A and B are shown apart, each in its own frame.
Chain A
Amino acid sequence: MDSIVVSNIRQRPLRSAISVLGVALGVVLVMLFTGLTRGMSNDLQRRNSNVRAEIIFTRPGSIELTSASTNLSTKYVERLKSIEGVEAASPVILDFYPSGAFGVEQVEGVEWDSFAKMNNISLIEGHPPRAFDEIVIDETKASRKHPVGSTVKIFGDKPYRVAGIYSPESGARAKLSIEALQNILETPGKCTYILVKCKNSSDQVAVAKRINEQLPGNKVQFTRDVFTSIETAIPSLGIFLRVLVGVASVLSALVVMLAMYTTITERTREIGILKAMGASRRYIISEIEREALLISVMGLAVGFAFAAAAGFFIHKATGLIFEFGGLWALTAAAIGLVGGAMGAFYPAVRAANLDPVHALAYE
């Protein structure tokens, strides 16, 4: 197509490429950050939703975002089982070790039989952890080159043999026997919390009330409140994302504005010719906006492609999970297009208002 818009873009390939990359950068920022937040949050939600127990019985302050205490006696397990409405109770130690893309990963110590039965998970390969140096892992962790029989380093350089792989994902991706973790933490007979499964899920409020009455001084929470999304756990994350979107918008607009401004300056005489030919202000502005929009569209395509590729390779390398949402993709597209259009508007108006005689004489 012999179009002045297309030919102008092709005539200045380096500048056009830089403008496209500027728009793409805004798109990549939005897509990768929101994709990572959604991916990690949804992954956590998925794993937490597979914890079938309705109630968590623990000591106050024993569970934080990246730390947990082991200060609850496992003797509470039998006492909880005797409370009306309780179907099962299973102790869990929650601990963290330095590893992974975020620098820390969770590990749980469980009584495998009661835990697996309560949460409806099963081993698809291998056997439960028996020895103190055995762990079972979920399919996601296993897919990163950790088959049964391989070793995983936990707590620094200590190797643990992968004894089994379970499904579905539930809680921490790696689980030891509770005795093994009690041994490591030197907390025999202790756990972080006890999961309580109700006979009837709709009775969980009443059961929780009974637990509070019969075992006062402890903390009784519902799993639906404890195992929450990352956005709820970190409220300022939403603010951060909005600020990021704003920064991406400004970035795209600035890049396009600078590119168009430079282009207009170089093409002053061409604008004078257009005016001499009778091109109206509206025509000149629309031509420049069309060029900016074409650059923006190309920037969107490059940005989406790069974000998808980057998400794929980062996941492969680090295990971080990306989930790209349609709404955020639309937001990123709007940022690219609106940012590009707005960025080009001032140079376009400036071009349309050039004095044609001076523009024609411009060297």
Chain B
Amino acid sequence: MATILKAENLEKVYRVGKVDVPALRGVSLDVEEGEFLSVMGPSGCGKSTMLHLLGGLLTPTKGRIVIAGEDLTAASDSKRTDIRRRKIGFVFQRFNLFPTLTAEGNLRLAERIHGNGDDDPGHRREILRLLRLEDKMHHKPLELSGGEQQRVALARAVVTRPAIVLADEPTGNLDSENSAIVLKMFQELNRRFNQTIIMITHNPEAADASRRVIQMRDGYIVEHATTVRTP
């Protein structure tokens, strides 16, 4: 399998007043295409910072990130935005759906930003069927349960066929039943579409849904991705 993401010696230092706070202290990571990877660690270990760097929302103080052959770190802000639009899909802990739009509208917004419109209605239908959202599309987020909202968010993230889906604590706001459903959806997307997924979580049960887990602490990867966990 090809390497779809390569991060080399990533460092990120935040300037807080007159103090430099290192969030990442030299993280290297290779992710293969079609991998489902979990990143675990206690609060403040740098997992969210790493996710934001991998998604191009932040620039590293040092290091290099290459996603599907494109160097994110050498890119300008507008170029990073362009790479993010084409290659990255985000899923957030708080769902982050647009409350004034229906589920359908949220998906169409993603497609409009991506610029592909209705290029592949078949792919769209398959995602909706897989995530069991066909009869939810005309509802606004407030009319949906937490689990349904997260599934809509997941659909929004994958409908544009990104190279990588970055999920930041996707089950953090869900009960155990809905968490299990959403994690199963992640697995299905990974299995059916060979979707590469990097998921941040502090929940070992959520991490068990993935195929590889790495542990972070104090800005380092302390347990590298050599252990393969079978879901």
Given A277-B110, A277-B113, are A357 and B105 also a contact pair (CB < 8 Å)? no
Q: Within 8 Å of chain B (Cβ to Cβ): is A7?
A: yes
Given A273-B98, A357-B57, are A7 and B105 also a contact pair (CB < 8 Å)? yes
What 1/0 mask marks residues of chain A from 308 to 333 whose CB sits below 8 Å from any chain B CB? Answer: 00000000000000000000000000
Given A4-B100, A7-B100, A269-B96, are A280 and B57 also a contact pair (CB < 8 Å)? no
A2 near B55 (CB under 8 angstroms)?
no
Task: Pick from B1-9, B64-72, B81-89, B216-224 the stretch touching chain A.
Answer: B81-89
Q: Within 8 Å of chain A (Cβ to Cβ): is B161?
A: no
Closest partner residue, chain A, to B110 (CB atom): A277
Closest partner residue, chain A, to B78 (CB atom): A280
Among A4, A275, A281, the residue within 8 A (CB) of B105 is A4
B100 near A279 (CB under 8 angstroms)?
no
Q: Min CB distance, A260 to chain B, in Å? A: 16
A276 near B100 (CB under 8 angstroms)?
no
Given A278-B82, A278-B86, are A2 and B113 also a contact pair (CB < 8 Å)? no
Among A4, A276, A279, the residue within 8 A (CB) of B101 is A4
B100 near A278 (CB under 8 angstroms)?
no
Provide the bound-state CA to CA distance between A2 and B101, in Å. 6
Among A3, A269, A279, the residue within 8 A (CB) of B113 is A279
On chain B, the residues within 8 Å of A11 by CB distance are 99-100
Q: Within 8 Å of chain B (Cβ to Cβ): is A8?
A: yes
B81 near A10 (CB under 8 angstroms)?
no
Q: Within 8 Å of chain B (Cβ to Cβ): is A356?
A: yes
A283 near B113 (CB under 8 angstroms)?
yes
**24 A–B contacts from the bound complex (CB under 8 Å):** A2-B102, A2-B105, A2-B108, A4-B98, A4-B100, A4-B109, A7-B98, A7-B105, A270-B98, A273-B92, A273-B98, A274-B113, A277-B84, A277-B110, A277-B113, A278-B84, A278-B114, A279-B81, A279-B113, A280-B81, A280-B82, A281-B78, A357-B52, A357-B58
What is B's interface to A at a CB cutoff of 8 Å? 52, 55, 57-58, 78, 81-82, 84-86, 88, 90, 92, 96, 98-102, 104-105, 108-110, 113-114, 156
